[in-house]
Amino acid sequence: MVRKSFINTITIIVMIPLFGCTSYSPTAESIVGAWVAKDGAVLQLNKDGTFETKNLSGNIIFEYVEEYQDLIFNETGTWELGKYQGHWAVFLRFNTSAQLKGGFVTQIAVAGSKGIFENKPPWVLFLWIGEEGESRYEFTKK
Q: Evaluate whether residue 4 is within a structural domain.
A: no
Q: How many domains does the chain have?
A: 1
Q: Evaluate whether residue 90 is within a structural domain.
A: yes
The predicted pLDDT at position 19 comes to 47
- Residue 33 structural domain: 22-141
Closest CA to 137 of 106, 108, 100: 108
Q: Please measure the distance between the N-terminal and C-terminal CA atoms of the chain and give it in whole angstroms.
A: 56
Q: Distance between CA 89 and CA 109 in Å, rounded?
A: 4
Q: What is the DSSP string of 3-65?
A: HHHHHHHHHHHHHHHHHSPPPP---HHHH-EEEEETTS-EEEE-TTSEEEEESEEHHHHTTT-
Q: Evaluate whether residue 115 is within a structural domain.
A: yes
Write the single-letter amino acid at 28.
A
Averages of pLDDT over runs of 10 residues in the chain (142 residues) are: 59 49 85 98 98 97 92 98 95 97 96 83 94 90 95
Q: Evaluate whether residue 10 is within a structural domain.
A: no
Q: Evaluate whether residue 107 is within a structural domain.
A: yes
The predicted pLDDT at position 15 comes to 47
* pTM value > 0.85: no
The predicted pLDDT at position 33 comes to 98
Q: Evaluate whether residue 137 is within a structural domain.
A: yes
Q: Evaluate whether residue 120 is within a structural domain.
A: yes
Question: Domain holding 34: CATH number?
Answer: 2.40.128
Q: Evaluate whether residue 41 is within a structural domain.
A: yes
* Dihedral of alpha carbons 128, 129, 135, 141, sign: negative
